[in-house]
């Protein structure tokens, strides 16, 4: 076994009784102890719970009653996912002593699948606005270089997966909070179709944009994790009632025959990306062509249109949600949260309605552009992770996001690593598909990952 197995590798070894879930868990806990002082990925380590979960999984392994590929797999949850009897803070002083009575629906689903819970992971406060240095816990650091940003808000999950502290974890994505950290930390992360996975028991940011999804080292691992998240839940009013496909079923089909559209103006004109990011995208497109996919450019509205629409809806919904606390305890929020949410006050009722009208127009535009296509390609992030100390306060608002368009439309999108820049920090590509076509995304991403060398390299810190 490699020092940091993927979930798929570990699952095969556990099924063959060649890997002990208890030993796997102990080795992850040892990594947490050795590395998390530098990474700040964990807000809480649940060692006793982890060992109990692992012993139960080991008993099932020995009895031949394993629940499936996630049985005995060490994971952790972003700290906006409610965990029964375990502190859930949203990385905020408002909830620093909050202990939920019930698990979030997705937390229970993963527990029922046999996962081993190692703890709760850092986020931006209420999944928005970081990095913040004025909260009770510090922001997470990028394992490829701890002077650099992880992106957010699923920052702890990105760092913990990349450094091998866990094999997979949960994220949430309202404007890019899974795909951004996946890109900066060099891992895979998927924002599922809006409505595919339940949000019940997850602290909200913006109800009509929030999605719950997995993050892991590979697309294949994300498929395994999403399998145990997806499905209808009556407690989530946006939950889709439809059959859940086998997310790993198409993984071996390769890229032949895929029809790919490239939103090149997003990353060449609207928000030009770094040289390494552009090189990675073009190399990935070359790979898909060589495998027998067809590739052509497509045109959408400017990325700024999608960004403005999504950002306004996001802060408008967040403002409404947080208004009582904003009025009473404004200064108790991190500066990055309160100063980004407060400008929602500028929006009138008609403005919010107009944003929702534009949202429908943009969703229809993207759907029409995908006629005859299986996948659309864009960047995940503008470039390599910047230094965490150098981040201008308003950067992520001034330039259009590459991830927000798919929150606006609800389409599923995955970020996968396409190599490394000159500084040794990862770069990434984003693949998106029509609603509920996650199997196609996993198929394409898996084919690409299997054909390239990027999954063989871990952060030096993690190898030490």
Partner 1 sequence: MSNPEIDATELARILKQAGLALAAEEVRAILPGAAIVAAMIERVRRPLPREAEPAVIFEAEPGR
* Closest distance to partner 1 from the beta carbon of 168 (Å): 24
* Closest distance to partner 1 from the beta carbon of 142 (Å): 25
Eight-class DSSP state of 386: P
- Residue of 20, 78, 92, 154 marked active site: 78
Active site residue 78: yes
Find out whether the peptide bond into 176 is cis, omega within 30 degrees of 0. Answer: no
In the bound state with partner 1, the residue whose beta carbon lies nearer, of 78 and 358, is: 358
Residues that bind partner 1 (CB under 8 A): 193-195, 208, 238, 240, 242, 304-305, 307-309, 311-312, 315, 319, 323, 326-327, 330-331, 335, 339-340, 342-348, 351, 353-361, 363, 393-394, 397-398, 409-411, 435-436
- 61, 78 in Cβ contact below 8 A? no
* Closest distance to partner 1 from the beta carbon of 188 (Å): 21
Find out whether the peptide bond into 406 is cis, omega within 30 degrees of 0. Answer: no
d(CA 380, CA 404): 10
The pairing of beta strand 426-432 with beta strand 413-420: antiparallel
- 184, 151 in Cβ contact below 8 A? yes
- Strand (E) or helix (H) holding 260: strand 259-262
C-alpha dihedral over 14, 16, 18, 22, to 10 degrees?
A: 30
d(CA 76, CA 183): 19
d(CA 293, CA 444): 10
In the bound state with partner 1, the residue whose beta carbon lies nearer, of 76 and 312, is: 312
Instruction: Looking at 132-246, list the stretches that DSSP marks H as alpha helix, in order from N- to C-terminal side.
Output: 155-162, 179-185, 219-227
* Closest distance to partner 1 from the beta carbon of 46 (Å): 34
In the bound state with partner 1, the residue whose beta carbon lies nearer, of 345 and 389, is: 345
In the bound state with partner 1, the residue whose beta carbon lies nearer, of 268 and 335, is: 335
- Residue of 20, 132, 153, 172 marked active site: 153
In the bound state with partner 1, the residue whose beta carbon lies nearer, of 364 and 389, is: 364
The three-point CA angle 244-247-252 to 5° equals 145
Active site residue 154: no
Concatenating the DSSP letter of every residue in 57-124 gives HHHHHHHT---STTTT-EEEEETTB-BTTB---TTSGGGTT---SS--HHHHHHHHTT-EEEEEE--S
- 90, 97 in Cβ contact below 8 A? no
- Residue of 20, 140, 172, 177 marked active site: 177
Torsions phi, psi of 415, nearest 5?
A: -110, 130
In the bound state with partner 1, the residue whose beta carbon lies nearer, of 61 and 309, is: 309
Active site residue 279: no
In the bound state with partner 1, the residue whose beta carbon lies nearer, of 233 and 449, is: 233
- 169, 214 in Cβ contact below 8 A? yes
Q: How far apart are the first and last CA of the chain?
A: 17
The pairing of beta strand 413-420 with beta strand 375-379: unpaired
In the bound state with partner 1, the residue whose beta carbon lies nearer, of 359 and 455, is: 359
* Closest distance to partner 1 from the beta carbon of 394 (Å): 6
Longest dimension (CA), the chain: 62
* Closest distance to partner 1 from the beta carbon of 147 (Å): 26
* Closest distance to partner 1 from the beta carbon of 233 (Å): 15
* Closest distance to partner 1 from the beta carbon of 431 (Å): 17
Angle between helices 47-63 and 7-15 (to 10 degrees): 50
Q: Which residues are catalytic?
A: 78, 153, 177
């Amino acid at each position: 076994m490699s020092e940091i197995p993927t979930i798929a590798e570990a699952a095969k070894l556990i099924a063959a009784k060649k890997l002990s879930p208890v030993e796997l868990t102990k080795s992850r806990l040892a990594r947490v102890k050795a590395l998390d002082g530098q990474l700040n990925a964990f807000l809480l380590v649940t060692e006793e719970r982890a060992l109990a979960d692992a012993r139960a999984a080991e008993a099932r392994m020995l009895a031949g009653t394993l629940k499936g590929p996630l049985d005995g797999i060490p994971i952790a949850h972003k700290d906006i996912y409610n965990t029964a009897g375990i502190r859930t803070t949203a990385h905020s002083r408002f909830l620093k002593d909050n202990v939920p009575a019930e698990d979030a629906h997705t937390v229970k689903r993963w527990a029922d699948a046999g996962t081993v819970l190692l703890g709760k992971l850092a986020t931006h406060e209420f999944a928005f606005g970081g990095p913040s240095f004025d909260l009770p816990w510090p922001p997470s650091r990028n394992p490829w270089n701890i002077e650099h940003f992880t992106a957010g808000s699923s920052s702890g999950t990105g760092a913990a997966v990349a450094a091998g502290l866990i094999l997979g974890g949960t994220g949430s994505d309202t404007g890019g909070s899974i795909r951004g950290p996946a890109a900066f930390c060099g891992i895979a992360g998927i924002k599922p179709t809006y409505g595919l996975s339940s949000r019940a028991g997850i602290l909200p940011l913006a109800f009509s944009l929030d999605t719950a999804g997995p993050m892991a080292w590979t697309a294949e691992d994300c498929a395994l994790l999403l399998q145990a998240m997806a499905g209808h839940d009556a407690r989530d009013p946006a939950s889709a009632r439809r059959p859940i496909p086998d997310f790993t079923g198409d993984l071996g089909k390769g890229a032949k025959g895929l029809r790919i559209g490239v939103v090149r103006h997003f990353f060449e004109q609207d928000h030009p990306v770094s040289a390494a990011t552009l090189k990675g995208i073009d190399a990935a497109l070359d790979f898909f062509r060589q495998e027998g996919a067809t590739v052509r450019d497509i045109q959408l509205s400017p990325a700024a249109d999608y960004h403005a629409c999504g950002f306004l809806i996001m802060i408008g919904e967040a403002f409404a949600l947080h208004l009582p606390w904003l009025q009473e305890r404004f200064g108790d929020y991190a500066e990055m949260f309160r100063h980004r949410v407060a400008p929602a006050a500028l929006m009138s009722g008609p403005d919010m309605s107009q944003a929702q009208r534009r949202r429908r127009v943009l969703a229809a535009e993207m759907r029409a552009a995908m006629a005859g296509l299986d996948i659309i390609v864009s960047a995940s992030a503008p470039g390599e992770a910047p230094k965490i100390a150098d981040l201008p306060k308003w950067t992520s608002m001034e330039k259009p996001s590459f991830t927000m368009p798919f929150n606006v439309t609800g389409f599923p999108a995955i970020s996968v690593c396409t190599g490394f820049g000159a500084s040794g920090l990862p770069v990434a590509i984003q693949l998106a598909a029509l609603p509920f076509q996650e199997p196609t995304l996993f198929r394409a991403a898996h084919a690409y990952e299997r054909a390239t060398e990027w999954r063989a390299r871990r952060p030096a810190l993690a190898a030490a």
